[in-house]
């Protein structure tokens, strides 16, 4: 239980991570789609995705691609999505 809430806190403590995390709630997206949807800068989106990927909250579903990478919530990310508001 503690790990779950550590992950919730990790996402919620950062405005950028929270925004990017919630943008993936309805399904996988490319960083450019997240940028357009959230009006965030691409470098902020990329930084948030990298950080949450390291925590295994999101993952790249096509890592072999140099361009057109798509990110989705992991099973761990899906477990905590309802805790992020």
Per-residue tens of pLDDT for the chain, all 85 residues? 668 999 999 999 999 999 999 999 999 999 999 999 999 999 999 999 999 999 999 999 999 999 999 999 999 999 999 999 8
Spatial contact of 70 and 29, defined as CB atoms under 8 Å apart = yes
Yes or no: is domain 2-79 CATH 1.10.10.10?
yes
**Contact of 34 with 40, CB cutoff 8 Å:** yes
Cα four-point dihedral sign 50, 53, 55, 57:
positive
Q: What is the pTM of this model?
A: 0.93
Q: To 5 degrees, how large is the angle CA 51–CA 30–CA 75? A: 55
For the chain, the farthest-separated pair of C-alpha atoms sits apart, in whole angstroms, at 37
Instruction: Give the separation between CA 84 and CA 69, rounded to whole angstroms.
Output: 24
């Amino acid at each position: 239980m503690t790990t779950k809430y550590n992950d919730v806190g990790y996402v919620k403590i950062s405005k950028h991570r929270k925004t990017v995390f919630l943008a993936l709630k309805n399904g996988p997206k490319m960083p450019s789609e997240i940028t357009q949807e959230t009006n965030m800068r691409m470098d902020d989106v990329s930084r948030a995705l990298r950080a949450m990927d390291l925590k295994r909250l999101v993952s790249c579903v096509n890592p072999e691609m140099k361009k057109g990478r798509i990110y989705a919530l992991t099973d761990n990310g899906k477990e905590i999505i309802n805790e992020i508001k």
